[in-house]
Amino acid sequence: MVVGDFPIELDTLVVGAGPGGYVAAIRAAQLGQKVTIVDKGALGGVCLNVGCIPSKALIEAGHQVENAHGSADLGITTENVKVDFEKVQEWKGSVVNKLTSGVEGLLKGNKVDIVSGEVYFVDKNTVKVMDEKNSQTYTFNNCIIATGSRPIEIPTFKFSERVLDSTGALNLKEIPKKMVVIGAGYVGSELGSAYANFGTEVTFLEGAKDILSGFEKQMTQLVKKRLKKKGATIITEAMAKGVEETKDGVKVTYEAKGKEETVEADYVLVTVGRRPNTDEIGLEQVGIDVTDRGLVKVDKQCRTNVDNIFAIGDIVEGPPLAHKASYEGKIAAEAISGEKSEIDYIGIPAVAFTEPELATVGMNEAEAKEAGYDVKVAKFPFAANGRALSLNNSDGFLKLVTRKEDGLVLGGQIAGPNASDMISEVGLAVEAGMTAEDLALTIHAHPTLGEITMEAAEVALGTPIHML
């Protein structure tokens, strides 16, 4: 440990190299700032290394297994489908490595200095950066904190070899025969669905009345139907009580409908939310305001109550979404450069990579009415779309929420194949203040799933072609 080190002076310091931090660093560098980024872990943060990217790779591998079994409806049947799960994990790792090395190249290409270590704030212009051997003091003019979040650990479900967080579930060396998933939100539903496609018998324990809170019941019903078809068991309004670990598995105790029950499995995956990483970095030394939940309070430019320090991503209010963090990172970098940029979450989508995929942007029907709008809701089914039928994947719908007086697009919800990609067009309509007429007049290629957006807009206008 180096004692009495001489401070290194920095212009803009970014703490955390996840999708919020590295994007903020690059944007700040583009704007002429001299930027240094610090992270104690791998570049790309949770999202690229143990979150968004590896989970989607595992989900896709599960889809490949499901497709490999064939479809009797299409006249295709197969036998003896084999999965080399070690090879699946190797492929997943290669996807992660390509992206993390790409982030390093982007940072270096934009002349961002990369420092490895753990940050602790000394005062509003000073941090200590520590690794296993050394400690170095840095002073800075401006700082963007993007330290992300970590899984919440339930006291009665301490993480272990059999009690997994999302990282553990992504790195299993074998396909479990049985798995219990506590919490059926985004992460639980996605990973549970992926393992169900690999043949795992999955039991979901969800404390709320429905899975995937934040999405409308019409949407979640489709996911539940598909999960049950895969053999999954879904128990809602269930309270997980404790776990007994054995040599070969776990026995989970839970309470539902006033009765205590048990379920045995190889592993239990705990996905009950995430906690902001703000508790061990010295924010109290600087006097930065945080909420009771540990979230940093910021203004519309992501500035904290300390005027030269900004905060973005999972450590501020709002859903812990990678694209939200990236968006906020750009705003903070621009604010430091003196631009008038400020956050406006109206066009930020939320997506669940379940089966079918779910996506929402802007306001749903209930939110629009609560906001005082006189709304018109237009819905078009995937079952009336030629491309969806040719994909043999026609469950779902697209719903547009428009203002009755002029057709202004207030929001949209999609449940169906490729909803994660399709939501961007609706998001653009919301962000740009477009109307249903704008969407209807946009010529969409045929046959594509994208036509569903145009068709829903025509329903909103009262002139549907492919629906009575």
Binding-site members for NAD(+) are 183-190, 206, 273
The secondary structure of residue 131, as a DSSP letter, is -
User: Mapping DSSP to helix (H, G, I), strand (E, B) and coil, where does residue 309 land?
Assistant: strand
Q: Look at residue 217 and give its three-state secondary structure.
A: helix
Please state the residue numbers annotated as binding site. 56, 147-149, 183-190, 206, 273, 314
- Asked about 446 being catalytic, the answer comes back as yes
Rounded Cα distance between 15 and 17, Å, is 7
Given a contact cutoff of 8 angstroms between Cβ atoms, the answer to whether 461 and 436 are in contact is yes
Residues of each annotated binding site for FAD = 56, 147-149, 314
Residues 34 and 11: their CA atoms lie apart, in Å, by 6
Are the CB atoms for 392 and 246 separated by under 8 Å?
Answer: no
462's torsion region: left (phi>0), alpha (psi -120 to 50) or beta? left
Take residue 20 and report the two structure tokens written for it.
Answer: 């919020």
Burial class (CB in 10 A: 0-12, 13-18, 19+), 366: exposed
Tokens of 391: 């994909």
Q: DSSP letter string over 263-306? A: EEESEEEE-S-EEES-SSS-HHHHT--B-TTSPBP--TTSB-SS
Residue 352 in tokens: 């669940």
Beta bridge partners of 245: 250
C-alpha distances out from residue 56 to 90, 313, 418, Å? 14, 20, 13
Q: How far apart are CA 263 and CA 160, in angstroms?
A: 18
Determine the Cα–Cα distance for residues 372 and 352; give it in Å rounded to an integer: 28
CB 377 within 8 A of CB 401: yes
Phi, psi of 328, deg, nearest 5: -65, -35
Bridge partners of residue 39, in order along the sequence: 116
Output DSSP code: residue 214.
Answer: T
As a residue count, the chain comes to 468
Q: Please list the active-site residues.
A: 446
